[in-house]
Amino acid sequence: MTRSEDKVKIIHASDLKNWTMFPEYHGHDGLTLGEYLTRRRAADDVLWELRDLVRAQDKLAEVDVDTPVEYAWHEISVPSSIRPGLCEIALPKPDNPGSTITCDAGEVSEEILRIPRSWRKRTVTASYACPSRVLNASEIGKLKDTLSAADDKARAQLAEVRASRYMQPLLFISHRWEGLRHPDPEGRQLAKLQALEDCFLIYDYASFPQHTAAPEDEAALLEILLGMNSLISNVLVLTAPDFLERGWCIYEYTVASMRASIVCDELNDPNFVRLRNLAATRPPVSPRFLGSGIESEIQNAKNQKTLETVNTILPLFNRSKFTRERDREIVRDLLVSELAGTLPGKMEYIPYVGEWKTKPWTEEELRDAFNSELRWEPLQYTRSFTPFEPKVPSTVAETVRNGYQLDSMPKQNDWTWLTLTDGRSFEAFGKGITQGLLNVALILAGGIVLILLILFLLVWWIFF
């Protein structure tokens, strides 16, 4: 635990309901960040000790529901006919009770497909779905047995941790101060944030010591500001007309975007949205038959676009305003540190060796970029891609409904999300490669068979 964590006060969403204006740091008895993190770690330790019970409980909550789940698909052949009207086709019996059948053409009633006749033969797809608890009845039984076998103490301990408020997320509120002495004198920001539920938050005026001549508070504030990079997580961005003119706002928005750690974005500035989309995109893991070429090229394309986007954002900081001009250097240092740890490295060619090498950015290069721009050798790639676009709510109410979740790229389908510049998906591209390889294999097999046949005839002619 760092010393600054004991100096940051956090607020629970329930406290907001009783306020008409944000109190200053010394005006409320908020929990410290250090206390929250200590209790959160203790709760996480309990969950780890009871991980088998946790997994069973979570899986049961996922599958023991009435939500329909598709479990089978059948291609149905529709015969050709020159007669007008409908034809009726009996569909395969469903495997599970309570199943529903849908087709991509025609109408289904009591396992009969009624579809208009056509002069040509065609197929339709019939999809079978049933409630999840029906489809997963066997697994649900095993999960319930696992939970029943747990002792009462473990179940009680797990229930206590699940109900603990310290398992609730911690949000960082990025906002524009609307007054010199108070960030929200009219209470507009508070009114928005009162929609929050079941979470803690960091709001600088109430969380950091402000407007005080006490030396210990001044030292505490400086210590907190120097460690701000550790606080930027689960960020909720409240918009303002001049949000992108303020230095601290630009810093918070940049760091949160580079980490793809925004749970609500009222501003949705195109450059920052592009940056967070790139940060949320993982290059595909190429199938073995494709080698690593596609992955490398997409990584290069992503890095190139990221660096270009950062170059459009850094000038904003150089033109930004600070209430206290001395904060500019603090924020510049924070950004340089974040860029050094997050920016993709630059590729540089090594003479006489004939290879490219990834080199990290120097602090001097990053500092110079605020007055000019980042410079690098253009990365080599012939394929581009469409970045993954995480769903980020644009209102506080929608964020609450979303459970403060950060949308991430599905791991099992990484490469099917990306799109080549000609519009083909990697999945289609992979199928095309597979078909091409299959065609080559068939040609080679045919050639081998032909050669063997000729050899057989030659041996027959010579010896017989």
pLDDT, residue 413, reads: 44
pLDDT, residue 13, reads: 96
Measure Cα distances from 44 to 40, 158, 161, 315, 439 in Å.
Answer: 6, 11, 9, 42, 54
Tell me the average pLDDT of the chain. Answer: 87
The larger pLDDT score, comparing residue 34 to residue 384, is at 34
Domain for residue 248, yes or no? Answer: no
Domain for residue 87, yes or no? Answer: yes
Lowest pLDDT segment from 216-230, 297-311, 408-422: 408-422
Domain for residue 92, yes or no? Answer: yes
Domain for residue 405, yes or no? Answer: no
In this model, does residue 283 exceed pLDDT 80?
no
DSSP codes joined into one string, 269-298:
-HHHHHHHHHHHPPPP---GGGTTHHHHHH
Is residue 101 within 8 A of residue 142, CB to CB? The reply is no
Q: How far apart are CA 15 and CA 164, in angstroms?
A: 17
Is residue 272 within 8 A of residue 257, CB to CB? The reply is yes
The contacts of residue 61 (CB under 8 Å, 6+ apart) are none
Region of 206 on the Ramachandran plot (φ > 0 left; ψ -120 to 50 alpha; else beta) = alpha
Q: What is the pTM of this model?
A: 0.78
Lowest pLDDT segment from 141-145, 379-383, 431-435, 436-440: 431-435
Quote the percentage of the chain above a pLDDT of 70.
Answer: 85
In this model, does residue 127 exceed pLDDT 90?
yes
The larger pLDDT score, comparing residue 378 to residue 430, is at 378
Domain for residue 73, yes or no? Answer: yes
Number of domains in the chain: 1
351 — pLDDT class (breaks 50, 70, 90): low
pLDDT in tens, 328-340: 999 999 999 999 9
290 — pLDDT class (breaks 50, 70, 90): very low
Starting at the edge strand found earlier in the chain, the sheet holding 122-131 runs 68-78, 122-131, 100-103
Domain for residue 167, yes or no? Answer: no
pLDDT, residue 139, reads: 96
Tell me the one-letter amino acid at 195.
Answer: A
Q: How far apart are CA 205 and CA 203, in angstroms?
A: 6
Q: How far apart are CA 291 and CA 285, in angstroms?
A: 9
Give residue 116's domain range: 68-135
pLDDT in tens, 387-406: 899 999 999 999 999 999 99
